[in-house]
Structure 1
């Protein structure tokens, strides 16, 4: 029998509400700051309620940009970030699915050696191998291009490992049934493995999309063309203005708009994301 403890329930809700307020307060400050003129944020105390410059600030950001950030419209930077994040996400998932499929269902020499070599790359993040990667990209003429932003980041040892572990849980009877039905490797992969992997794909899609959206170091290194700036680069340029004072209303507005695509992805795929983390549909 479950005991009814009103005091414990009240305390639990108070702690949860306090946690929500603690997490949402910086977002509220950024949202309010984006609706005021820049001068209002340079005085103390900073305003805690909306101002009357919200429409003008966001229109300036989306249409013309901020001179401190190179004058690139925020709409262009967000499209660049979206294209980069989707390219990295789809590329990582596609390559990881194919790699895991080959390692689990094909018998070829040094199969496990190749798997452990892929797994060992987890110890070599982008920051460690960035110089040789930059040299390769420059040699191939991919600087200041979308392929240069995306291709060097589409390999994922983590996703390959997760898909391999999932494929190993699929019963051998399913593989035998596919062989009896004369299903070839590609049909088995397309009609059986992919539908079974949809929750895992959804979970990885959210994680990898946010990873690609938040990339800063690699785009900053290989991009000098302002038309290829990403939204994270724009925020960095707005904050680092040398001896000048950052234009905080535009910076906060950019941060608010930069949060929208990742939040939408999480909200749309939330149910599949949870299933992909806690369940295995077979």
Structure 2
């Protein structure tokens, strides 16, 4: 039994508040800095409260674009990042759930061999796969295209493994009941397995969306067309602006805008995400 002592409660809340402060303070500073002109951030003391240039700064970022980021509006870069993240997310989930369904419910030669080959790809670092993947994409003519950004990243051994483990918990009686009801493989998959996998799909959707949104190395290699820059690439180009001083108010504004879509996804799907991670049968 946990004792309810006043000083322990105070100490616990003090630790939690301190942790929240250290986590949120950089976000607060980015938000504040994005509302000031560049001159305010190049002098001391650095402002800790909002300025009066927020509307102008964000309007310039979303529609005007900056030479430091190739002249591409941040709105366009966010659209590119969103399309890439959604394409990777839906692609990974679709490929993984179908692969896991085939491995668990179909009997074919070398079934487990294929599964372990998929699983072993987790042992290969991303850097090992980049050069051969780039060579294949180049020969297929997918450079500077959304297909080149998305297709090489839609395979996921982790998601396949998680779906396989969940499908193995489905009672055999449910499969037999579907057969008695004359449900074919596609109907069983669509009407029974997918609804049961809803929480798993939601949890993976959040993780994979953030994974796709934060991609930097692969878009940097595969794209030279400035109209296909992602928001993470835009932030990097603003920071490394050569001999010019970094435009910190625009950099912080872009960072704040880059955080908005992942936060919306997490907040909107939080309940399903937590449920998908803590359900006892997982």
Deviation sequence 1:163-197 (CA, Å, 0-9, x none):
00000011100000000111000000000000000
Q: How far apart in 2 are the matches of 1:2 and 1:255?
A: 42
Shift of 1:280: 5.0
| Match in the other structure for 1:135 | 135
Alignment check: 8 A CA contact 2:169 2:281 kept: no
* Higher deviation after alignment, 131-140 or 4-13: 4-13
Secondary structure of the structure 1 residue equivalent to 2:18: helix
| Match in the other structure for 2:273 | 273
Tell me the C-alpha RMSD between the 2 structures.
1.1
Q: How far apart in 1 are the matches of 2:149 and 2:125?
A: 16
Shift of 1:230: 0.4
Superposition pairs of residues 190-269 of structure 1, within 5 angstroms: 190-269=190-269
Deviation sequence 1:83-108 (CA, Å, 0-9, x none):
00000000000000000000000000
Secondary structure of the structure 2 residue equivalent to 1:128: helix
Shift of 1:2: 5.6
Q: How far apart in 2 are the matches of 1:267 and 1:281?
A: 24
| Match in the other structure for 2:48 | 48
Secondary structure of the structure 2 residue equivalent to 1:127: helix
Q: How far apart in 2 are the matches of 1:277 and 1:33?
A: 36
Superposition pairs of residues 11-22 of structure 1, within 5 angstroms: 11-22=11-22
Secondary structure of the structure 2 residue equivalent to 1:25: helix
1:175–1:59 CA distance, 2 compared to 1 (3 A): same
Q: How far apart in 2 are the matches of 1:278 and 1:162?
A: 14
| Match in the other structure for 2:126 | 126
Q: TM-score, normalising length from structure 2?
A: 0.98
Shift of 1:110: 0.3
Secondary structure of the structure 1 residue equivalent to 2:246: coil
| Match in the other structure for 2:60 | 60
Deviation sequence 1:234-257 (CA, Å, 0-9, x none):
000000012221000000000000
Alignment check: 8 A CA contact 1:239 1:246 kept: yes
Deviation sequence 1:12-66 (CA, Å, 0-9, x none):
1111111111100000000000011111111122111111111000000001111
| Match in the other structure for 1:91 | 91
Q: How far apart in 2 are the matches of 1:277 and 1:105?
A: 24
| Match in the other structure for 2:35 | 35
Secondary structure of the structure 2 residue equivalent to 1:151: helix
Alignment check: 8 A CA contact 1:196 1:281 kept: no
Q: How far apart in 2 are the matches of 1:70 and 1:242?
A: 13
Secondary structure of the structure 2 residue equivalent to 1:163: helix
Alignment check: 8 A CA contact 2:95 2:155 kept: yes
Query: Is there any run of 5+ residues in structure 1 with no aligned partner, and where?
Result: none
Alignment check: 8 A CA contact 1:69 1:234 kept: yes
Q: How far apart in 1 are the matches of 2:265 and 2:156?
A: 20
Could you list the structure 1 runs, at least 4 aligned residues long, displaced by more than 2 angstroms after superposition. Answer: 1-4
